[in-house]
Each structure stands twice: as structure tokens, then as C-alpha cells.
Amino acid sequence: MKKLATQIQKFAEFQVKLLFAISKIIKKLFIPKGKGYSLHILLGIYIYFLCSVFADPILSILIVGIIGLAKEFIWDKLLKQGEADRFDAMYTIWGGVIALLVIEGLLSKVINLLIIPFV
């Protein structure tokens, strides 16, 4: 039983490292310099992680979207506590999608569908 717990912990650590690596790649490729979008990606990942403990994947990604949109609309636009930017919400949702793909093991399937036909 202890061995299984250790394996689960190592797998969870691997997933976290993979998520950070993927977010760094996305930051380098798709995020304009000087913008804080990488923080939104990481927050989307973290929110998805928290939600996935208690909810199924679809509900978790919906919660990530609701939180991302609510933060932009309520906190930034209505309360004027920040600058409302639709890309902030979009990158928060993308963070949730990245976490969904990694946690559900779909990332390897997506990569196989995109890369294998061209190899």
C-alpha cells in the first residue's frame, strides 16, 4: 500500500512539472512580452486542479471559465480594481484546458493526432 501511495505521489509531481513546462512553452510561443498572461495560465491550471478534486472534468473547466470571466467583469470592470482585458479571461481558460488535457491523459492523444500523421 505504501508503494502505491509513493507511485501516485511521483505521478502527481510529474504532472505538475509537465504543466509548468507546457505553460513555459506557451508563454514563449503565444504570449506577448510585457503582459501578465502567464499568471492567468497558471491560475487557470491551479483552479482546475482544485476543482478536479471535487468535480468532473467538464464542470471543472466550466468553473475555471466562470471564475476567469467573473474576475474580469466584476473585479476589473465593475469595481474598477484593475484593467479589464478579455485576453486575461481567455488565458485563464486556456490554463484550465491545459490542465484538463494533462490530467485526463488526453495530451498524448492530441499530440499523436496532430504529429503522427505528418511523420
CA nearest to 93, candidates 55, 40, 50: 40
pTM for the whole structure: 0.63
The CA distance from 72 to 78, in Å, is 9
Q: What's CA 91's distance to the chain center, in Å? A: 8
pLDDT digits (tens, 9 = 90+) for 8-55: 677 767 767 776 776 677 666 666 665 667 788 888 988 998 888 888
The CA distance from 5 to 25, in Å, is 30
Please say if the pLDDT value at position 102 is more than 70: yes
- Grid coordinates representing 83 are 484593467
Domain parsing of the chain, residue ranges: 2-118
